[in-house]
Amino acid sequence: MKNMPPRKLSLILFVVAVGASVFSCYLTPTIPGLALGLAYFSAFVLVVRAAVEWVRPPAELIRSLIWGGAGAAIFAFICPLWAKFHLPVVPALILIPVLLTGIPPLIKTGLHVAGRRS
């Protein structure tokens, strides 16, 4: 089996997380239990994506930061929809993984800049 590059895996995980979240918004009025499961599944996928971000090469840090910001912006629209439909999602279990996807590139960028100065 061929190894998948971190860039492609990160993008696939991002699409799966956003897709599950958007689909959960669609299902909330009719099947709230499944919608809640999809919301927590998207949080788990975002945690896995944050782990994948650690292995991205330093040349892709800017791309990683942009995708992290895009994820935060998308979930800024999705979370109020969950609240509007009264989906009992624990906000910290969703927002912490969203923030975790942006932390590895920030830390790696800081380490990369600090390595240049020394």
The pLDDT score that the predictor gives to residue 118 is 56
What pTM was computed for the model?
A: 0.82
How do the domains of the chain map onto residue ranges?
6-117
pLDDT tens readout for residues 20-78: 999 998 888 889 889 889 989 998 998 898 888 888 877 787 888 888 888 888 888 88
- Residue 100 CA to residue 103 CA, distance in Å, equals 5
Q: Residue 95: which pLDDT band, with cuts at 50, 70 and 90?
A: confident
